[in-house]
Amino acid sequence: MPTGTGLSRARLAVTLAFIAHGMVFASWLPRIPALKNDLGLSDGALGLILLAPPAGAIAAMSVTGAACARFGTATVTRVTAIGYTLGLTAIGWGATSTPTLVAALLLAGALVGAFDVAMNSQAATVERAMSKPVMGSFHASWSLASAAGAGIGGVAAQYDVALWIQLLCVGGFALLLVLPFFGALIPDAEPEVTKRRWRFERGLMLLAVVAFAALLAEGAAADWSAVFLSEDQAASAMVAAWGYSLFSVAMFLGRLAGDRLVHRIGRSRSISSAAVVGGIGMAAGLIIAEIAGPGPTGQAAVIAGLFILGLGIAVIVPVVFSAAGDGPGIAMVSNGGYTGWLLGPAVIGGLGEFLGLSVAMWTIPLLAFLAALMAPLGLRSLPRR
């Protein structure tokens, strides 16, 4: 196991992997409103189409967890990084019709999920080798890169850049970023754990519920914030992109502070207190927007609510992934999380279809409160190692 400079390089390599993942993923999100209009989709139809990425992710995650146990997280991270950065271009090629878009999103989701499990598993290996909480800093880098990616996507949407060109350029840049550091990834340190390909434990099941709530809320903010700002608050394409960009910046700041918060008050209290703050902030933003109506005030309120939500729920996923520990454990928790991401588009889209998008967005703060309640139960139920 490397020490000193070797661990520093490994931490940098994992950080760059998270940056590549966040930048490429978020760069296509501001294009969703344009795709909705181009294909003539209702809120409900868009919600069904947006089931495709998390469905693909869930299908790939357990396989990736088993692959991490069999071949090591470093090897699987290298392979999935290449497939992910180049493969998401398929979304641009498939955006010409609804069937091809669904197929492209299924493929993209599988690549997203595979790379997500692999890099988080390698991150857990690096964290154990460093003997201190650093998972939050990895996820913070993802959030900052996600903000940059959303900004790039917003500018590309404003100037009608072809989606496949945008994704090819962003993905190519991301690959060039991570490729030189592949050799710095480290072997897994606990063969007695990583040899197990599957883990089913009560604590992991409860943490999967927490991840479900957190990623449903995060996914709803990713998939629907631009649509909500555009349609309900009359925002331009660029302003609509700011909502998710600032949400991602808040996630970055919250995750940077998250490692210190966990070190100071522990995992359980960190998640509970932060999630409650995030839920209250988003709820306040929605209330003010409803009172103010469409326009700059309502737009600012929604964006501010997304920012506070991001600060609050930022802590959740890094903590539950760190607690899960290894590839199979992270795959188990990730399956719960991406099931939330899977149901999120359908839940928001279905509620938006029948009750209005302004009502459907209330799902987000309610999920933050659910995560705050469930996290302590899951963390207390984990076996002591």
CATH code at position 148: 1.20.1250.20
Residue 189 is assigned to a structural domain of this protein: no
pLDDT < 70 stretches in the chain: 1-4, 189-201, 203, 325-328, 341-342, 345, 380-385
Q: How many domains does the chain have?
A: 1
Q: Which residue has the tokens 């196991």?
A: 1
Compute the distance between CA of residue 176 and CA of residue 170 in angstroms, rounded to an integer: 10
Q: How far apart are CA 283 and CA 265, in angstroms?
A: 26
- For residue 301, tell me if it sits in a domain: yes
Q: Quickly tell me which residue has 């490994």 as its tokens.
A: 10
Q: Is residue 294 part of a domain?
A: yes
**CB-based contact 138:15 (threshold 8 Å):** yes
Q: What angle do CA 338, 100, 211 make, to 5 degrees?
A: 5
Angle between helices 316-324 and 135-158 (to 10 degrees): 130
Q: What is the pLDDT of residue 287?
A: 92
Does residue 173 form part of some domain? yes
The confidence score (pLDDT) of residue 194 equals 42
267 within domain boundaries = yes
Q: What is the pLDDT of residue 195?
A: 46
pLDDT, residue 228, reads 84
Q: How many CB atoms lie within 10 A of CB 132?
A: 8
Task: For residue 213, give its domain range.
Answer: 5-183+196-381
Q: How far is residue 81's CA from residue 122's CA, in Å, rounded to a whole number?
A: 12
Report the C-alpha gap between 320 and 287 in whole angstroms. 30
Nearest Cα residue to 236 out of 329, 312, 155: 155
E strand or H helix at 336: helix 327-355
Check if the beta carbon of residue 194 is closer than 8 Å to that of residue 365: no
The answer to whether residue 188 sits within a structural domain is no
148-176: pLDDT as tens digits: 898 898 888 888 888 999 999 999 999 99
Contact between 122 and 72 (Cβ < 8 Å)? no
pTM to 2 decimals?
0.73
114 found inside a domain:
yes
pLDDT of residue 218: 81
pLDDT of residue 222: 73
